[in-house]
Amino acid sequence: MKKMRQITIRPAVEDDLEAFLKLGEAIGNPPGVWKNNPKSDFHDLQERMKEGEKIFLLAILGHKIIGFVVIHLFRRLDPTGYDSKSCTIGVAVHPGYRKQGIGTRLVRQGLKEAKTRGIETAYISTGIENIAMQKLAEKLGFTQYAIIEKEGWRFPRYKRRIST
């Protein structure tokens, strides 16, 4: 049996762009992953990290980026209003590395980082067809509270408190 090397989870840096673009090619363009495209999103996330609005973590195996999580601080998917102690979470993993716990590790690390910034509630939204993400959310203690329809797509929404 081949031994898998250690996966490192760390904040993204400018030098990660090329490897991130390769991950973007592998992931493709499923609904909700990219705001614009991998390159402009990478630069936007870097800038927003510096401004304290986002947490952008990468999962790295060797020199290859195999996944990422983005924590959008101080955003709320709950239509009842804005909550300054909440965040939304987006995660993506290279198709060749799924079902190995990488998404779980990324979200858990993202939640830890968010907690250190005073975040108390986390939200996840995913496409109705993304059963793996729905199962991941439930496994990590998120509960579904709505299904939103937008531009012909259906998005289950999940939330959970971040333990103190």
Per-residue model confidence as pLDDT tens digits over 122-134 = 999 888 888 999 9
Residue 95 resides in a domain = yes
Closest CA to 153 of 31, 30, 29: 31
DSSP string, 51-104: TTSEEEEEEEETTEEEEEEEEEET----TT---TTEEEEEEEE-GGGTTSSHHH
Range of the domain at 25: 7-123
Residue 153 resides in a domain = no
Q: Encoding tokens for residue 51?
A: 């401004």
Residue 134 resides in a domain = no
Q: What percent of the chain has pLDDT over 70?
A: 89
Give me the pLDDT at residue 35, please: 78
